[in-house]
A = this chain, B = another copy of it.
Amino acid sequence: MPDRPPLRFAAFVMDTVSHIQHGLWRRPEAQQHRFDELDLWVDLARTLERGGFDAMFFADVVGLYGPAGGDFEVNAREGLQLPNGDPSVLISALAAATEHLGFAFTSSVLQAHPFEFARRVSTLDHLTRGRVGWNVVTSALDGAARNFGADRLEEHDERYVWAQEYVDVVTKLWEGSWDDDAWRADKAAGVVSDARGIHRIDHVGARYSVAGPHLSRPSPQRTPVLFQAGSSPAGRAFAARNAEAQFILSSTPEKTAELIASTRDQVEAAGRRRDDIRFFLGLAFVVGSTEEEARAKSAEIDEWLSPDAFLVHSNLGFDPDTGEQLDPDTPLSQVRTQTNRSHLQWLQEAAGDREPTIRDLARLSARIRSRVVGTPEQIADQLATWQDAGVDGINVINWTIPGSFVELVDHVMPVLQERGLAERPGASSATTLRGRIFGHDQLPDRHPARQWRGAFS
């Protein structure tokens, strides 16, 4: 693959105890219960930079999984994204400890007013010298809405209307409020900035009225790298217009290739170039020095996985009509789920004489979730297959922090670098996160948000 750019690597983490691979926090070497300690993250950032990773990608939620108002015994016991912390305030410490690692974080339109959020992000983009990304989410949790004054979430498509106005406001501030030459810092002339190059945006929309001007001068990237993860039609239309990177979960390489091609079609239809959007695939790795060792490790991981947490996280554990919590031993035949035939067969075999239950389904979905098992060379082969399918980067799901990343950095990244599947640490001359991914520091002219440049003069 010498003609291909290397895959980009992000560490998919969350400032919490149990992000995705529930139950693994209990392993003796796992340190994710120390999520509230700065050292855990500073050390991890240094490990990732040493290993040639491009970014840390922080997930976030601002409410509980499960029906709003419901019991949260499982969430608490399993540490299912509870307690958690605000990733935005972690980043400056991580930036101080690294030179080029990027930091993308999730923030919902629900949680922050766009004027305040735009300044927070610009401040971070300055402090990191252009290494910030933002994962735009609309928030899918009723429990989150109820922390912000609403009884429940807006209807799904309306959430994307909201998100589009939110993106419009923040990109007006980032792209349009300050001209490139407005900031002077000219001591001799006694001029900090030239007001002729600073503009109010006077946004008036359905949800927001924001006068401006933006209080930050333009940061290295102006707009942070825009990540997005929605897969509904409304979500994909939103991504086609706005997103520069999409986080996807694996099915098969064939289906992934189809998804990527059709999203790129939409991106093109929105007036952008096909490669103006990049696809990061979420994968969790189980590494062994032999295939046998890897398989044994994978089986051991299965033993640590917690089906209870998966039941709540995936909403499998609730009646879809009433929101009532279901007994995990409820037979699958009594609930409505979307389970494909091969899974049902596996479930029946696993259950033996019993009827398969929703807990069996949770256990299965936990076991098959995005897992790549093998030697470093076998992992490289699989990543090459994903790259052939059009994947641009990997969002590495961890079992343990920092263990999963240390293992990857020490044993897998060198093999990937040898094969050109990953970049060698320090090989890129890019200083910004967008520069590392795209080769340019700011949004390209054809991105819709670039319309705001000069629009308020």
Contacts and interface: CB of A to CB of B under 8 A. Distances in A.
Nearest to A220: B36
Nearest to A90: B92
Contact of A85 (B30, B126, B193): B126
B97 A96 contact: yes
A386 to B, nearest CB: 33
Interface stretch (A109-117, A237-245, A253-261): A109-117
Interface stretch (A157-165, A182-190, A313-321, A416-424): A182-190
Contact of A96 (B42, B84, B123): B42
Q: How many copies of this chain?
A: 2
A25 interface: yes
Interface stretch (A72-80, A344-352, A377-385): A72-80
Contacts of A116: 62, 86, 111-112, 148
Contacts of A198: 72, 76
Interface in A7-34: 15, 17-18, 23, 25-28, 30, 33
Interface stretch (A206-214, A280-288, A356-364): A206-214
Nearest to A146: B211
A78 B36 contact: no
A185 B68 CA distance: 25
B193 A77 contact: yes
B86 A123 contact: yes
A191 B210 CA distance: 45
Nearest to A87: B123
A365 interface: no
A120 interface: yes
Given A73-B195, A113-B111, A124-B89, A83 B216 contact: yes
A269 interface: no
Contacts of A124: 89
A233 interface: no
A196 B208 CA distance: 39
A64 B195 CA distance: 12
Contacts of A77: 190-195
Contacts of A64: 213
A183 to B, nearest CB: 7
A195 B78 CA distance: 10
A15, A76, A150: most-surrounded residue (chain B CB, <10 A): A76
Contact of A90 (B27, B83, B127): B127
Nearest to A185: B33
Contacts of A71: 195
Given A76-B194, A123-B89, A217-B83, A187 B28 contact: yes
Contacts of A26: 187-188, 190
Contact of A92 (B33, B89, B208): B89
A217 B89 contact: no
A17 B192 contact: yes
A2 interface: no
Nearest to A304: B190
A83 B90 CA distance: 23
A119 B144 CA distance: 13
6 contacts: A79-B193, A82-B192, A89-B92, A115-B148, A147-B212, A150-B209
* Among all A-B residue pairs, the 8 with the closest Cβ atoms: A79-B192, A85-B123, A76-B195, A92-B93, A36-B126, A146-B211, A76-B193, A83-B217
Given A77-B190, A85-B127, 9 more contacts: A26-B187, A36-B217, A69-B211, A82-B192, A92-B92, A112-B112, A112-B116, A113-B149, A149-B210
